[in-house]
Structure 1
């Protein structure tokens, strides 16, 4: 048992005794929210402070999830779970069990279906057959790039003549906005629960890509007591005028949040996703020849992307550009080169060899989500056949000198960095051998890519740290469920030792 001699949450100093850091047993003195000193265990304490005896437990830097859609994650934890559906008919059966007693007009929301490998296709008729009249149903895809609706929902959104009920990409964004507004009453409670659940897994910070701009919402949450995470809040193009008019630059702290909420990058989505077959690629998708978008969908072409990145850069905003397909990555790197923009490419799931080198040359960070490599391996094998040697190329990017940061894309994957770390190291989520194991990274590399902007534990660093309740395992598959004993944020416990 960890023995907290005195509760440090109300004090500005604490001594963490007998912590194991990089294999050494040390005492960590924390003062005013930072690591004041680290010295071999047993030496006289540098200051008089309350003591927490860690008993040799490992201590690692606090973890960051570098890509989260937080409100959607908070809501998805309460929605009808469709992740286990193996066909459109199975998904409809899950809906049928959920809606039997729903009153007319009450919106029913499901989340998590992945239809790329289903033997049948989603269609509004399947949902209409199992839903009572007047009950709108919106099922959100696991990749957040499309939704599947029934007739009542189609009428609600003014698309009663939609032929299939499967609404993709930009067409589904207004539906997503309505779904969020319909659940606003519960969202404050859900957000609090989700943030505290993340802290319990060692999370100290997130980069929030919820659209269109959540900075003020997070400031209100912190003022209301939700103070267990650091939040970097991005802005989307439709709201870019707001931070510019307020003089906010990336990295600026929001007054009244004790430094917990900061201005983030401009987020731009240039293409779709693999599961929806809308990621924009150099080569066509099998079976899509002759269709309107055989190579996927380019949502923001260069003539729009370059001015956006240029404006953001001149205003002091970094950028975070969603690019999944290899052609989307090429065009995005072109835009970085043309504008001198600073920032990241989000996802970078399929990358040509020359573009790997350009990431490094341009100083563009690769913000990747390792769990996607596990969830999408079968879809990639089918739709990116012959190209998967350069899919999710974590090792190749690192070896080229590219900075990697890891995230979840929650709710697409759980807001739990240990899940992503395990996927990055092992590249398999079941009993099959690792998928393209040549692209794996080491546990130390994955931890470093999940440890946020402060780097290794050292004096002067912010006291954001995690106490583990077990040693780091040699089997990478066990990393996903590694137990966390306590989490400290800026010198105070967000999850106190028990």
Structure 2
């Protein structure tokens, strides 16, 4: 704080930090410039008031460190605002009706985009109905989990996909009679069509990104780690070689910088380009104040919803064991390149086999260089008991999304019926001293972190009348808040984020509830919003 700048005083129920299963609290705090300069009793803090000082009276309301969504897709969230939402379809007939209605709103011959269909609702025997619904236009409809997609005949033709197209390594084309692709794409087969997609861009995308940032601020989210893309295609501008999401967000920094603390992951395929550009995990994005370089992202397997999570034993719904997208030599080479580049790794692994394969690769890899943040395992939805202690032993962050547990409950019961005790094992990982950082995976699930906290505490969706699912793996509300605040800061190696002790960056939210309601984490917590959100002491939202 400069000599002439009066401090901002905050009086109320202030959570300085969530740590060790409890909230460390104070009556008040003072902010000078971008940082917290004091915290303690109100009688002490008010003595710091000077002419021009303002006081935020938050008595009766919880003041918390700004939440950090540790795994989301910001560009995908923005585009989803303009795409057909198919999550609500209860059967094939409803799915077709939703697609037909959305297609009717578009110019003739233009691309159609949608997302959210469920594997259980897609009848592959009647894909002709989807073809009729899109009216011969190129269409690309992503599944709910994003690990499958349906592409129309026109889209397949534009991509040059036909009966003679082989399945790519780490992917599969579903086929009908005579080996003709039926349009359903699994895992890396999506890339065959992805290279010709024409998604939302330009000024319309920038506007949608701005809307998304405003929505996040209203939740009390001040930080987000963008989980990036599967490949390095579709980039633009200075960072075109780093893929669609990274380059789009970098180009949009004039709209996003100082509104949200964004960590930008880059795809595995862009690691060489990042190295040549001198980019390192944790370093600021040149020309920005609140954007920085994140992790290099790789995919070890698929997802539960698409039945492509890599498993040790056949699942109980299809009898399959999923798709392992990277073998040992590929993982070893990826981690070696990360170590040489000073870039940390984030590896998607959902099934127990994928998690074990990644842990084994980590055990073979060289140590990280000085100052490089810990590597991450993304999702870790099925983890064998023998593998849980390995996260802490190798200082790996378990990057998990509690809303997935609640939303995937029926799929897990159908497909992992004989191993449910090993699914979404938050309590076991915490007890094994793992660093547990939470996110949403939006737009696959809602970005609402309060829905995530309800799911973490009750192991079910808000409003679900069923009993808590596998409650032995539930955690407390205070532990969940820590996973959304302190843990993401530790994961990126920032001691001045994720808390509100003196010296911390003043990223905070004044919530419209009190501490008792927050810690109870009942279903109505999903309606919580921030009355005031600050990033580095600057106001980014006021209700």
User: TM-score when scaled to structure 2?
Assistant: 0.84
Structure 2: give runs of 5+ residues left out of the alignment. Answer: 16-22, 164-179, 233-241, 369-373, 490-496
Q: Which of 503, 506, 509 matches 1:466?
A: 509
**What SS does the aligned partner of 1:166 have?**
strand
Question: What is the correspondence of 1:145-156 to structure 2 with a 5 Å cutoff?
Answer: 145-156=147-158
**What SS does the aligned partner of 1:42 have?**
helix
Q: Alpha-carbon deviations, 1:177-232, whole Å to 9, x = none?
A: 54454545521111111111111111111111222434454343223465311111
Corresponding residue for residue 390 of structure 2: 358
1:287 to 1:274, Cα distance in 2 relative to 1, 3 A: closer
Question: What is the correspondence of 1:76-475 to structure 2 with a 5 Å cutoff?
Answer: 76-115=80-119, 117-118=120-121, 120-121=123-124, 123-133=126-136, 135-161=137-163, 162-176=180-194, 178-179=196-197, 181-184=199-202, 186-211=204-229, 212=232, 213=242, 214-224=245-255, 226-258=257-289, 260-286=290-316, 288-289=318-319, 294-339=320-365, 340=367, 342-429=374-461, 430-451=464-485, 452-453=488-489, 454-472=497-515, 473=517, 474-475=520-521
Corresponding residue for residue 38 of structure 1: 39
Give the aligned CA root-mean-square deviation in angstroms: 2.1
1:178 to 1:370, Cα distance in 2 relative to 1, 3 A: farther
Corresponding residue for residue 7 of structure 1: none
For residues 207 and 449 of structure 2, the distance between their equivalents in structure 1, rounded to whole angstroms, comes to: 23
1:201 to 1:477, Cα distance in 2 relative to 1, 3 A: same
**What SS does the aligned partner of 1:458 have?**
coil
Deviation at 1:475, TM superposition (A): 4.3
1:175 to 1:191, Cα distance in 2 relative to 1, 3 A: farther
Deviation at 1:288, TM superposition (A): 4.0
Q: Alpha-carbon deviations, 1:124-177, whole Å to 9, x = none?
A: 3121232323x2222111101111122222222222554321111111124345
Q: Alpha-carbon deviations, 1:322-343, whole Å to 9, x = none?
A: 0000000001001111113531
Runs of 4 or more above 6 Å deviation: none
CA contact (8 A) 1:67 1:209 kept: yes
Deviation at 1:479, TM superposition (A): 2.1
1:252 to 1:131, Cα distance in 2 relative to 1, 3 A: closer
1:50 to 1:317, Cα distance in 2 relative to 1, 3 A: same
Deviation at 1:246, TM superposition (A): 2.2
1:343 to 1:26, Cα distance in 2 relative to 1, 3 A: same
CA contact (8 A) 1:112 1:143 kept: yes
Corresponding residue for residue 64 of structure 2: 60
Structure 1: give runs of 5+ residues left out of the alignment. Answer: 1-10
Deviation at 1:263, TM superposition (A): 0.9
For residues 195 and 177 of structure 1, the distance between their equivalents in structure 2, rounded to whole angstroms, comes to: 28
Deviation at 1:245, TM superposition (A): 1.4
For residues 6 and 408 of structure 2, the distance between their equivalents in structure 1, rounded to whole angstroms, comes to: 46
Deviation at 1:417, TM superposition (A): 1.5
